[in-house]
């Protein structure tokens, strides 16, 4: 094992302009915002995003003009309404979107994880997401049944936010967590994998419970420490989403200029993630911390 521990900005530098980027997390949980902030600071453009149920990461990258296309199962701000920047960009034709249902999308991530070019899925015919050129058919060689097929997610890079990790890139989840996501499968199928974690812990902490390691170091290209790295979303078991910040975001996002001003006052006002968290202040971050 070798150390793969780098700064947040060095980790984010592995994401190239014009690349296909898998972004992890689900709903308001564990969106890799520290890494996303860095992509916004560096104006990394023309990204093709592939997500599960995405919220803040997609909305911010779209609002900052970094996105060319999106595919996934959901983009919204969950309890805080529609994703305002994403919504406007789609309505204006500024980005293209491809909607997938959950079984088709899990199969696309699983195909990548299995090293397969595609996987068959039980067909769901007659819907707007399945009667499309990218969904094809195959006849089962055993039963003769006609199945749909979906292509593996062939992404250049994958960014995830996790709970704790060691310097080698072993990333572990807590015993009890909210597991309503597919980060595990995304990591398994990643070509270049960049993970931010709330806390870098000694290797000995990881080795005590290897069954909690859901991303092994062999998969990881860069790991970085980013406390409050999912802010203003939540990192389940560590802190809750920041309701006030999300309301501010939702309001600012209704207009491109006000969202640019919001980015200017928040992400761009801090040179790096450390400065960003410092700006939030202890009072603010302590309010969000949760005890399990």
Contact residue for other proteins among 108, 110, 161, 273 (CB under 8 A): 110
User: Is 196 within 8 Å of 23 (Cβ atoms)?
Assistant: no
Nearer to other proteins, 3 or 137 (CB): 137
Of the candidates 130, 134, 202, the residue with the CA atom closest to the CA atom of residue 168: 202
Say if residue 23 is exposed, middle or buried (CB neighbours under 10 Å; 0-12, 13-18, 19+).
buried
**What is the total count of residues that contact other proteins (CB under 8 A)?**
59
Please choose, out of 77-85, 149-157, 161-169, 189-197, the segment that lies near other proteins by the rule CB under 8 A.
Answer: 77-85
Nearer to other proteins, 35 or 121 (CB): 121
Task: Restricting to residues 171-210, name those near other proteins by CB under 8 A.
Answer: 176-185
What is the CB neighbour count within 10 angstroms for residue 150?
A: 23
Contact residue for other proteins among 1, 3, 46, 79 (CB under 8 A): 79
Contact residue for other proteins among 91, 133, 257, 286 (CB under 8 A): 91
Contact residue for other proteins among 93, 141, 144, 202 (CB under 8 A): 93
The string over 43-64, giving b where at least 16 C-beta atoms fall within 10 Å of a residue's C-beta and e elsewhere, is ebeebbbbbbbbbbbbbbbbbb
For β-strands 146-151 and 118-121, DSSP reports them as: antiparallel
Helix, strand, or coil (residue 96): strand
User: Is 56 within 8 Å of 79 (Cβ atoms)?
Assistant: no
Of the candidates 86, 78, 122, the residue with the CA atom closest to the CA atom of residue 101: 122
Contact residue for other proteins among 123, 216, 256, 274 (CB under 8 A): 123
Nearer to other proteins, 74 or 249 (CB): 74
Nearer to other proteins, 115 or 202 (CB): 115
Contact residue for other proteins among 59, 74, 120, 276 (CB under 8 A): 74
Query: Least distance (Å) from other proteins to the CB of residue 223?
Result: 20
Nearer to other proteins, 131 or 154 (CB): 131
Give dist(CA 113, CA 185) in Å, integer. 6
CA–centroid distance for 149 within its chain: 24
Say if residue 215 is exposed, middle or buried (CB neighbours under 10 Å; 0-12, 13-18, 19+).
buried
Per-residue x/- track, 138-167, other proteins (CB under 8 A) = --------x---------------------
Nearer to other proteins, 12 or 213 (CB): 213
**Residues at the interface with other proteins (CB under 8 A):** 26-29, 52-53, 72-76, 78-82, 86-87, 90-93, 97, 99-103, 106, 110, 121-130, 146, 176-185, 214, 234, 236-237, 240-241, 290, 292
């Amino acid at each position: 094992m070798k150390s793969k521990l780098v700064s947040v900005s060095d980790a984010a530098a592995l994401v190239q302009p014009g690349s296909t980027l898998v972004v992890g997390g689900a709903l308001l949980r564990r969106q890799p915002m520290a890494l996303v902030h860095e992509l916004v600071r560096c104006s990394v453009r023309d990204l093709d995003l592939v997500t599960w149920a995405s919220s803040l990461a997609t909305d911010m990258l779209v609002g900052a003009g970094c996105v060319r296309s999106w595919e996934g199962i959901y983009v919204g701000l969950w309890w805080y309404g529609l994703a305002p920047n994403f919504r406007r960009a789609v309505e204006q034709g500024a980005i293209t979107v491809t909607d997938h249902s959950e079984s088709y999308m899990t199969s696309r991530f699983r195909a990548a994880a299995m090293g397969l070019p595609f996987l068959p899925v039980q067909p769901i015919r007659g819907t707007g997401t399945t009667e499309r050129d990218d969904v094809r058919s195959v006849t089962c060689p055993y039963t003769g049944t006609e199945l749909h097929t979906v292509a593996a997610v062939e992404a250049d890079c994958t960014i995830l936010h996790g709970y704790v990790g060691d310097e080698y890139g072993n990333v572990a989840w807590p015993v009890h967590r909210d597991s309503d996501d597919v980060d595990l499968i995304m990591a398994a199928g990643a070509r270049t994998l960049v993970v931010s974690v709330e806390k870098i812990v000694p290797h000995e902490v990881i080795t005590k419970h290897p069954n909690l390691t859901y991303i092994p170091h062999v998969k990881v290209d860069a790991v970085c420490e980013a406390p409050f790295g999912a802010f203003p979303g939540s990192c389940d078991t560590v802190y809750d989403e920041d309701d006030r910040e999300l309301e501010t975001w939702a309001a600012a996002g209704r207009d491109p200029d006000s969202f640019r001003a919001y980015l200017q006052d928040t992400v761009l006002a801090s040179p790096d993630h450390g400065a960003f968290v410092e700006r939030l202040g202890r009072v603010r971050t302590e309010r969000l911390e949760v005890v399990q």
